[in-house]
Amino acid sequence: MHRVVLDTNVIVSALWSPHGNPAQILSMLPAGAVTLYCDYEIMREYKAVLTRAKFKFSGESSDAVLKMIKRRGYFVTAPPSNVPFADESDRKFYDVARFCGATLVTGNAKHYPDEAFILSPAGFLARI
């Protein structure tokens, strides 16, 4: 089983493109092939973003994803790091991944430090 933290852009991409790499990773969660770690700040961001009118996701699809994450995800409280971030809102994903020994899967690797545990969806799938 692989430990992951999914950046919000991966969740959004999974809903936009049900056959893409992000959707493939998200589908591994209920199958038990990945273990998702998050904290309550990450969950709040997932909910806020998935319910934005500009994305036009159906309430049913975003609710299903959020319920699956609540049921299958592991919620932790990670200590904050001292690593500098241009956008502090990205820190929570980094800190949870580092704390849990998980892979941070993101479509925006440039927002994060250059660390071996930070991969794109394609990079993550290639590694496993």
CATH number of the domain encompassing residue 29? 3.40.50.1010
pLDDT band at 58 (very low <50, low <70, confident <90, very high): confident
Instruction: Give the chain's domain count.
Output: 1
Backbone angles phi, psi at 118, to 5 degrees: -110, 115
Residues facing 6 on adjacent strands: 105
Owning domain of residue 100: 2-127
pLDDT above 90: residue 59: no
Residue pair 124/117 in contact (Cβ under 8 Å)? The answer is: no
Residue pair 92/107 in contact (Cβ under 8 Å)? The answer is: no
pLDDT above 70 as % of the chain = 100
